[in-house]
Structure 1
Amino acid sequence: MDKSLQSLDQIKSSALDMAVRFGPKLVVAIIILVAGYMVGRWVGNLLERLLVRLNLEAPVRSLLVRIAQLVILALFAIMALQNLGVELLPLIAGLGVAGAGVALAMQGILGNIVAGLTIIFTRPFHVGDYISIAKEEGEVLDISLFSTTLGHTDLSKVVIPNRKIVGEILHNYGRIRRLNIALGVSYQTDVNVALHLITEILQANPRVLKDPVPQLGVTRLAESGVTIGVTPWVNVPDYDAAISEVNQTILETFAARNIVIALPQCEIRMLGNSA
């Protein structure tokens, strides 16, 4: 019984000694972490306002703000550990060795991160642009640190790793695209009348943009007829619908005005001696 009481007294004494020695340091460490959290939020809000002025996309702004907050919290965590008397040099050395091994095992992911940072800061395209790259094309829906997501008109999505984008030839259409419509009319057609009708059709279509001004004219004198090129601009989401609407309206208007659409023709001549 006496030994049990002595052991209990020793535990209480040790606990009291630990509380006296490390209690204030632990309280200070907690205060440092709370201060780091508050400073991180303040810096994050400040950085958010700065990035808005730089016209960066929302996903990019959120990523950079989160990184800044984590860096500040990590710095304050190091200060808290130092206050508790933790030896940081062996810990940093161990983390360095482990980090080297992780880096070798995650070369692809690190490559995507570096490429993502390159895209974020060089800004070759923005969310909402229509781009073509790596045999894929679509509207940019999201730009993250690891990948870029493209959307198609059939509502499907293509996720491209960022390392497949940096260093490749990129075609950025921006937020508008040009329709390339070619139609053939007979050589007996009054071309000026046909061009006037097409101009009226483009002006009446709400999807066709007034600026840039649509371009149209005779592009080729083909074997079977005159080829008229029609190249109006539309917003990226209206591309497919605009092609269908303009083609259908041209077909109906030409049929109503008796303008003949040129058809492929082949003339065969038979030569021989007369009987």
Structure 2
Amino acid sequence: MIDDELEQLEQVYQLVVNYLVEYSFQVVGAFIILGIGLLAAKLLSSAVVRLLQRRHVDVTLTGFMGSVTKILVLTCFVIISLGKFGITVAPFVAALGAATFGAGLALQGPVSNYGAGLAIILSRTFTIGDTVTVNGCSGIVKDIRLAHTLLETEDAEIITIPNKQIIGEVIHNSFSSKVVESTIGIDYAASPELAIQTIKNVLEENASVSKEPSFQVGIDSFGDFSIAIGLRYWVPMGAYFESKYQVNLAVFDALKSKGIKIPFPRQDIYLHQKENG
């Protein structure tokens, strides 16, 4: 009984020794190849990022291309290291394809977000720092990830939008600024030219109002009680309401100082009394 166990142990020992003798160099070579692959992936990824940064490519696309480069290089070196053991990668590729197909069917919603994120990054419909409105949500683009996009509002709220809900929707991109459109009524007895110039002076003096694109001021319409002066100007999204309220107050004070009245609807009622007798 003891002799049989010793014989089995000797066979196991001999098997291990034979394996190490036969495959030790392959194992060491595989680890060396993986180490070189990690270093090469890091260096090539950094080189791609620096190249795109020098060409002033937006940070989202730069980061994405760096990650793709690292994954591709690592994949190539893993395949090479597996070849050191005499392992054919064809069955693994087939199994990976089948697993990916099954996961795609099971996770159709989440996977479609990644596909939409890839489309957004490559098409560059908008980039980080742009001011966009999509699906009724407005804000500054803080980050574009494969699964979702992050917007930051003026109130410092973070809005997370799944990327599949962005693709195919109408996107308003005002880049770093957002337009303010408003009207103010002046009396028909006032000079429209004076009112327009007064409002232009206010917008010119306000540091928050963008000079490019330039603001626009002119007669918008003619109402029953007033001439509507329309004004359009651009302000930073992060200070949208603050800038709008400042301009409104400054326009009101400036028109008042010029003696330009802002009329309001008025209705005169006449009472006729019948004479007695």
Q: TM-score, normalised by structure 2?
A: 0.88
Matches within 5 A, 1:66-215: 66-215=67-216
Which moves more between the two structures, 115-124 or 8-17? Answer: 8-17
Shift in Å, 1:90: 3.3
Q: CA RMSD in A?
A: 2.4
Specify the alignment match of 1:244 in structure 2.
Answer: 245
Are residues 54 and 108 of structure 1, via their aligned partners in 2, closer, same or farther at CA, if it must alter by over 3 Å?
A: farther
How many residues were matched structurally? 275
CA distance in 2, matches of 1:227, 1:116: 44
Shift in Å, 1:92: 3.0
Are residues 79 and 218 of structure 1, via their aligned partners in 2, closer, same or farther at CA, if it must alter by over 3 Å?
A: same
Q: TM-score, normalised by structure 1?
A: 0.88
CA distance in 2, matches of 1:88, 1:194: 77
Partner SS, residue 179 of structure 1: strand
1:58-93 per-position Cα deviation (integer Å, ceiling 9, x unaligned):
233222211221121122112111211234333333
Q: Is the 8 A contact 1:178 1:232 kept in 2?
A: yes
CA distance in 1, matches of 2:58, 2:103: 30
Q: Is the 8 A contact 2:31 2:81 kept in 1?
A: yes
Shift in Å, 1:5: 5.7
Partner SS, residue 194 of structure 1: helix
Alignment-mate amino acid for residue 251 of structure 1: F
Alignment-mate amino acid for residue 163 of structure 2: N
Specify the alignment match of 2:220 in structure 1.
Answer: 219
Shift in Å, 1:271: 7.7
Q: Percent identity, please.
A: 28
Shift in Å, 1:104: 0.6
1:218-247 per-position Cα deviation (integer Å, ceiling 9, x unaligned):
222211112111222223323222111011
Say yes or no: does 1:14 pair with 2:18: no
**Structure 2: segments with no counterpart, 5+ residues:** none
CA distance in 2, matches of 1:155, 1:238: 11
Are residues 136 and 20 of structure 1, via their aligned partners in 2, closer, same or farther at CA, if it must alter by over 3 Å?
A: same
Shift in Å, 1:195: 2.5
Are residues 274 and 149 of structure 1, via their aligned partners in 2, closer, same or farther at CA, if it must alter by over 3 Å?
A: farther
Specify the alignment match of 1:262 in structure 2.
Answer: 263
CA distance in 2, matches of 1:117, 1:95: 21
Partner SS, residue 50 of structure 2: helix
CA distance in 2, matches of 1:74, 1:203: 57
1:151-178 per-position Cα deviation (integer Å, ceiling 9, x unaligned):
1111112111111112222221122222
Which moves more between the two structures, 182-191 or 47-56? Answer: 47-56
Shift in Å, 1:33: 0.7
CA distance in 2, matches of 1:24, 1:213: 71
CA distance in 1, matches of 2:3, 2:229: 109
Q: Is the 8 A contact 2:219 2:230 kept in 1?
A: yes
1:133-159 per-position Cα deviation (integer Å, ceiling 9, x unaligned):
222222211111111111111111211
Q: Is the 8 A contact 2:132 2:140 kept in 1?
A: yes
Say yes or no: does 1:38 pair with 2:58: no
Which moves more between the two structures, 159-168 or 191-200? Answer: 191-200
Are residues 194 and 92 of structure 1, via their aligned partners in 2, closer, same or farther at CA, if it must alter by over 3 Å?
A: closer
**Structure 1: segments with no counterpart, 5+ residues:** none
Shift in Å, 1:53: 4.5
